[in-house]
Amino acid sequence: MTDLSSYPGQEPTAKFDREELVQGWRNYEPASPEFETRIRFSARTDMGQVRENNEDKFDFYEPEAPALLAQRGALYAVADGMGGAQAGQIASELLLKYLIAGYYNHPSPDAVTAMRDAIVEANERIHALARMIPERSGMGTTLAALVLVENRVVVAHVGDSRVYRVHNGSLEQMTCDHSWVEEQVRAGLMTRQEAEMSPFRNVITRSVGATPDVEPEFHTYPAVPGDIWLACSDGLTGHVEDEEIGRILMQNCPSEATRQLIMLANARGGRDNITVFALSIREVLPFAQNAMHEAPQQTREPADAPQTEPPKSGIRRLFGKA
């Protein structure tokens, strides 16, 4: 079993240690990215109408250092925790904390390698913690993450939280649920309609932390101006149809789209926590050394309605932003 004494700051509420986080950056080769992808994004999370606490979590990280942008880009993620005694809330929070630190501190020049290792390490830490505390036994979390590196979008996925893309006016589901019913559908043993009505539709076959090993799934796509990306927990997809998700994303800016999606899921029962992260690609331009000072690379739209858990401005300050 993993010795947790080797992991300082293990407590769920521990803050990032900036020196620990950036120690690996010093090994990056001095370089600038070739491309700058400009976006608008909005993220919201809500407890829903039934749950007494929120086990969902979203987080993001946007570096400014050119060498870091070239190799790591910017990360946006959603996690949906599970487990009793608030263990799910702890698992999702720990995952995103470890994910950001592990990904940006990794020495590999390859983003997928760094992300895979960061997820594996987070799985090891969460699983070890669960084994040490009986009431947290079996705790785990899903992950749906988007990483914008240069002119590419890297998707990382574990569990049944999903990533969608609006491309050429059509919504596409870019991830395949790691769930029991999805496996039955793919094997031809269950129809899609039967899967949606099955009492086992929430049984997932992969998660971060619940088992000693984890198998994250990765896909890489070009960053295309006009595309809209969405990462969300199953609290949204359990109530809102894909056609409705696509229409709301295409007809509204990210801030309004996330608001409407959560309102719609709540209006239909809100049986679970609901988290949505919408990201609209506006431009993909040649990178200019002073571009970060002339115009923001990414802009988070101001929320026009209260959020259960707003984005953390402290993340930006780690990189010198006001």
Per CATH, is 31-317 categorized as 3.20.20.480?
no
Cα angle at 103 between 99 and 106, to 5 degrees?
140
Cα angle at 81 between 140 and 106, to 5 degrees?
65
Domain spans, the chain: 31-317
Which runs of E-coded beta strand occur in 182-254?
A: 217-222, 228-232
Radius of gyration of the chain (CA): 19
Measured CA distances, 11 to 8, 97, 312 (Å):
8, 11, 19
Mean pLDDT, residues 205-224 taken together: 96
Helices 242-251 & 254-267 angle (0-180, nearest 10): 150
Please classify residue 152 by burial: count the beta carbons closer than 10 Å to its beta carbon, then call 0-12 exposed, 13-18 middle and 19+ buried: middle
Give the three-class secondary structure for 39. strand
Encode pLDDT of 120-177 as tens digits. Answer: 999 999 999 988 887 787 899 999 999 999 999 999 999 999 999 999 999 999 999 9
Q: How many helices (H) and strands (E) does the chain have?
A: 11, 12
Residues 6+ apart with CB under 8 A from 237: 162, 245
Mean pLDDT, residues 10-31 taken together: 54
Task: Judge whether residue 243 has pLDDT over 70.
Answer: yes
Encode pLDDT of 101-131 as tens digits. Answer: 999 999 999 999 999 999 999 999 999 998 8
Please classify residue 53 by burial: count the beta carbons closer than 10 Å to its beta carbon, then call 0-12 exposed, 13-18 middle and 19+ buried: exposed
Encode pLDDT of 260-299 as tens digits. Answer: 999 999 999 999 999 999 999 999 999 886 544 444 445 5
Residues 6+ apart with CB under 8 A from 242: 164, 171, 173
Residue, of 245 and 199, whose pLDDT is higher: 245
Query: CA 29, CA 49: separation in Å to the nearest integer?
Result: 49
Task: Judge whether residue 81 has pLDDT over 90.
Answer: yes
* Helix or strand holding residue 313 (H, E): helix 313-317
Task: Judge whether residue 321 has pLDDT over 70.
Answer: no
Q: Say if CB 143 and CB 157 are below 8 A apart.
A: yes
Across the chain, which distance is largest between two alpha carbons, in Å? 56
Is the pTM here over 0.75, yes or no? yes
Mean pLDDT, residues 4-19 taken together: 45
Residue, of 45 and 322, whose pLDDT is higher: 45
